[in-house]
Chain A
């Protein structure tokens, strides 16, 4: 073990010197401080309370939706569609880049103006750059029998709500 040139006492020591030890502790403390600052800053930047409108909305009575009827709720960006035996809700947000789609009643399909994606009435992609089908949204009835749609909750494709 070579003698530590800083060691003036002439005593050979095993392992790091006191100076090395304190240097490492100091550097570790700086690293912890830097990491802590970074984490705290990042957490600061993430908003915890958002003033965004509520995602649940009332969609009328199930009797308003005979088969083939499509109602578009613009504020909530959702279609409520009548199907044989029930009702279901589709997100109107195109899965490509988030533009809001439109329902073309003469062609019985949903089209996106941004890049030309087209979807059928079940949300499947007919044509265009959209990578995924439109999301199906959760549907419930409240105590008075009114349909309740929650646009922040998605359900498996094809699950029609039987009223």
Chain B
């Protein structure tokens, strides 16, 4: 007699040939299956199969790296959605901002989400850096990962800065004008760098297009690559390191 209850629907589905061609492990009822879930998944297998229990505590790292990454994911998703309504040209860009605010369904919500996620990401990245510093988690073998982290912080700031110009309002235009004028002050290469960044002598439609390409393509790809290296190195260095522990020297006669 076939069991037709709803509870058995899941297990019957999991026995079908179609399902088993996609998912090669059973449900997470044995340690072997729990390992396979991580190990056989392309996206999850940056994790080790087992982790140290103490690294799971909130007070270990305050999950700041995770918060930064969560913000990056939100920014990616909302950014792509916003791209469907945005033309990087003058003055259409500004009109598109108005359209997002008043015409597009949930346009203002998505724009707000994008903006606040951006601010939170910069803030969380700073706090994450401070947490790693005060826990001395940059010591060998983690030195190069710290450097990768600093470059990630710079990439985050650049992403925020290039995105700042895109609304093409007074705040955006003059905020970026002041910043690029500062770049001009760098000796020897300052003028050249500014000319390349802006595609001209002043902030104009060329600058908007260049900042758009940087913001939507170049910097996100760079961030993705650097993040991959960063997370991979955390894994290879033995996992996240929280508060430093003093090595304990056993007393004579004691078995550790």
Contact = CB atoms under 8 A, between A and B. Distances in A.
Contacts of B200: 47, 50, 52
A46 B195 contact: yes
Contact of B182 (A45, A50, A97): A97
Contacts, number: 26
A114 interface: yes
Nearest to B195: A46
Q: Which 5 A-B pairs have the closest CB atoms?
A: A98-B181, A97-B181, A97-B178, A50-B200, A47-B199
Contacts of A47: 199-200, 206
A47 B195 CA distance: 9
A99 B180 CA distance: 12
A92 B217 CA distance: 37
Given A46-B196, A47-B199, A52 B204 contact: yes
Where chain A touches its partner, the secondary structure class is loop
A45 B196 contact: yes
A47 B177 CA distance: 19
Nearest to B192: A46
B80 to A, nearest CB: 25
A49 to B, nearest CB: 10
B174 interface: yes
B210 to A, nearest CB: 8
Interface in A9-68: 42, 45-47, 50, 52
Contacts of B174: 99
Nearest to A115: B178
Contacts of B195: 46
